[in-house]
Chains A and B, each alone.
Chain A
Amino acid sequence: MNSKEITIQISEAADSLNLKKWDYGASFSNDYSVQVDKGEAKQLKASQKQILTIRVWNESNLVGITTTSDISESGIKKALNQANIASDFGNKNEIIEFSPLAKDPIEVKNSKKRNPVGIKKLLTLLRQAEVKLLESHESIKSVPYNGLSESFYERVYANSDGAFRSYTKSQAALYLYARAEEKNKKPRSSGSVKLGYGVEDIDIESCIKDASNKTISHLNYSSIQTDKYLICFSPESFLTIINAFSSMFNARSILDGVSLSNKDSIGEKLSTEALNIYDDGLHEKNISSSPFDGEGTPTKRLCLINKGRLENFIHSESTARIFKTIPTGHAGLGSKVSVSPDWIVVEKSEENTDLKTSLDHSTYEGEFVYIEELNAIHAGVRASQGSFSLPFDGWLYKNGKKISIESATVAGDIKYLLKNIVNIESNQEVTTSGISPHIWVDELSITGDA
């Protein structure tokens, strides 16, 4: 069944069950991936997946939901039945409605859907990449984690009020994670990930070069003394922190009491006036962009922090109604609708005179710690408390030298971190989770074992 047929099928089945109000989200995908091990194919994978989530409203306007991978006529009927039963337990305290924007026009950017290149081509390209990475430095002994994949998918949202949206996309990903070993030293590992609309869009050479350079740069390592340091966050690591504490901008989290913000926090000064943060799911560099969210609301650019002050929250239909505003295109589709950011863009505002512009990661000669990548976010972040304690990969810059840091954590508080931003570099870099320049923060605690 295609998406139009599914919509008709659901409509007819809902009629037969006397369900007047329903909506659904569906995704259909075909994925292909390869892994190699020293020139040999290791695992080749293909998958065909379909997921359908149906919501129904009962006579008391309470919502029930069911998710299934069985998109047959009988599967759809069963899903509607189960959703109907679940609606007896619908949340009486938070009414859910269709998004008022579910029929608004959506911005579908130039379709960048690519054709599949096929498993054999994926395998050839990954084998070549592995060989080049192994040959790039004598200390690189293996590429234990590697993969090249391409995915083709369709997403659909429709409701009984006549809304219908769908889009198709393709996406490819390459990851290379190398392991380097030298005598009498611990093995060191690092890697790189690149995304593209198709395999032909991925800069394989740059992925190899990044993975090699990063891995080699960690070969000479040393422990670091536990102390407070001036920190330079790489674009990737700063985005990791912002995403980890995105509950600050999240209306759902505020209503659930797990956010550091509250309903009245709009306008609160969080950081230097030089900081702007946007959520921009439709950004041209966002390979995974989606023109609408789980409730069919169009995706749009939204300012979260403007000149250091909290400007907007991200919303679903129900949180927007409670906050007396409009949905922002950040909803999932669930029994309890989740809200999450799409693609964070960090930039320097025009009000930037208080920044210490001499702090530039490529020229600064004083002592500082460069945090390349933060790890174990799920274990080390207490979003509802604002605290974090995270292991990282990075370097200590001291006396004109750069040395990789062995086994250390950075710890602090997100509000303290934002308030202590001392420089926002000018150049933004594109990462897999957003765009950001390098960000400098004063006086964060680093724990090492020196």
Chain B
Amino acid sequence: MLSSQIKSNEIVFGSCNKDLLEEIIFYGIGLGADFVEIFIENTDNSSVLAEEDFITSVSPSFGRGAGIRIFKGKKDGFVSTNDLTKDGLMRSVSQAIEMLDITDNKREVFNGLNKHRDYSLPKKEWINEVPSIHEISEKLLVSTKSLKKNNKIITRKGSYSRNLQEVIIASSDGTYVSDIRLHQTVGLNVIASDAQYRSNGSRRFGSSGMPNEFRLWDHEKAANDVFESSMVMLYADYVDAGQMPVVLANKFGGVIFHEACGHLLETTQIERGTTPFENKLNEKIAHESVTAIDEGISEGSFGSLSVDDEGMEPEKSVLIKDGILKKFISDRAGELRTGHKRTGSGRRQNYSFAAASRMRNTYIAKGDHSKEDLINSISDGLYCKSMGGGSVGATGQFNFAVEEGYIIKNGKLTNPVKGATLIGEAKEVMPKISMCGNDLELAPGFCGSISGSVNVTVGQPHIKVDSITVGGR
């Protein structure tokens, strides 16, 4: 008796909530909504920080909440709440309806929810399969210890975070979906110092849906990589500013495409009128050597998902094919407002954000050249081995920090340089990506935008940009 009462009056994870969800959606439709969507989540996260040879922070967190979105025409009202009771959810629907000032008598038809698509079934045991805090702590401490390779390393850090998110998504088009998402990241960073010289080295690794991944992580290799990078950069000179050809390394070098072009292919940018590519479908926007993809299906990749935050399975979207713009990244609101079909890209940080069109695993496809071909083709330029963060402005201008760079002289890598920033505009840079290597690799990252911070993968093979502004001193 008690069990059924709970089921009818409050969302219970792991149980059938169909009746309650239908009741709430009926309520919204009855009040005049064109469309009602309910997104409910339950999270269980933890993070661990190791500094030098000690664990200095263990931070578990858990939470639950719902985001309710009501569409009327092309406008939408979004209400988020921590109250998952029937009354709480009904109140949120009423609030959204009231905000939208719905007064007409037109009523949409809601035929009830479809059969439950439960993507969470094979994932129920993940919470028991992920490493314990004890196991994580031990491995992080071994990792930070292995960073202690000489006395120039003055700061050593290892960090781990695990996010487990259980979601229920239901909407008035019949969508009724459950899923469990697991993301794990681990990072190492150091500061090296010698007299007036200082450098940083850092690397981050991440996966989705692979509870065992942290155990398989090769911390020795990662530590060697971070150490070597910091040593090379310790005595590096500042780069001289100017216009020059650059070769961008694979993996995280793909952040250039993510920032410079990927964001401009999200339908939110069309809605705002801020993308130069709005009317360029089937037109050439990049060099013919460029084919670019956004997908959510690569197994284990940080941006992969079984189902997006609007209940649609992700598709593999070829955005640019041989330089020709083929597709935009679209969510429900994007389809409604711009006409571009949904691509399974409706994503949000958590229940307190409405979903928006966001990238998943986004990369430039591999070409035919070796890395050496690209470098050999440049007489004076810059090799960007490791990229830092970047951003794109409201009119498409972008910038990226180069963490580890080398001068290219007569087709050879020479001395390391620091302090470089790559600056440009997508429209101008995309046609200048003239060579793509054959060594495509992906790297995890976090992307912050309109619907919060989401897990993504960036990637590319080595690529050559014929000319770009390099900021320095």
Contact = CB atoms under 8 A, between A and B. Distances in A.
A46 B393 contact: no
A206 interface: no
Chain B interface size, under 10 / 10 to 19 / 20 to 34 / 35 or more: 35 or more
A86 B59 contact: yes
B395 A47 contact: no
Contacts of B397: 391, 407
A294 interface: no
Contacts of A387: 238, 418-419
Contact of B133 (A79, A89, A94): A89
A187 B471 CA distance: 22
Interface string B344-357: 00000000101000
B419 A378 contact: no
Given A40-B75, A86-B59, A46 B95 contact: yes
A335 interface: yes
Most buried by B among A48, A66, A384, A386: A48
A78 B59 contact: no
Given A375-B391, A411-B472, A44 B57 contact: no
Contacts of A448: 469
Nearest to A36: B75
Interface string B432-473: 000000000000000000000000000000000000011111
A78 B43 CA distance: 13
B100 A44 contact: yes
Contacts of A408: 423, 471
B260 to A, nearest CB: 13
A376 B62 contact: no
Contact of A44 (B75, B242, B470): B75
Given A43-B78, A47-B81, A447-B470, A379 B63 contact: no
Interface string A81-101: 011011001111110000000
B332 to A, nearest CB: 13
Nearest to A377: B391
Interface secondary structure of B, over-half rule = strand
A69 B64 contact: yes
B191 A384 contact: yes
B274 interface: yes
Nearest to B241: A447
Interface in A137-176: 141-142, 144-145
B329 interface: no
B133 A86 contact: yes
B305 to A, nearest CB: 23
A389 B401 contact: yes
Contacts of A244: none
B315 interface: no
Contacts of A67: 59-61, 63
B45 to A, nearest CB: 9
B49 interface: yes
B77 interface: yes
Interface in A339-380: 375-376, 378-380
Given A48-B81, A86-B59, A445-B241, A256 B424 contact: no
B75 A411 contact: no
B394 A145 contact: yes
Most buried by A among B79, B399, B424: B399
B54 interface: yes
Interface in B104-139: 133-134, 137
Interface string B369-402: 0000000000000000000111101110101110
12 contacts: A46-B95, A48-B82, A65-B58, A65-B59, A86-B133, A89-B48, A144-B394, A145-B272, A335-B58, A375-B399, A380-B421, A385-B199
Given A41-B75, A411-B421, 11 more contacts: A37-B271, A48-B80, A89-B48, A177-B394, A335-B58, A380-B401, A389-B401, A389-B420, A407-B397, A445-B473, A449-B469
3 pairs of A and B residues whose beta carbons are closest in the complex? A409-B471, A69-B63, A447-B241
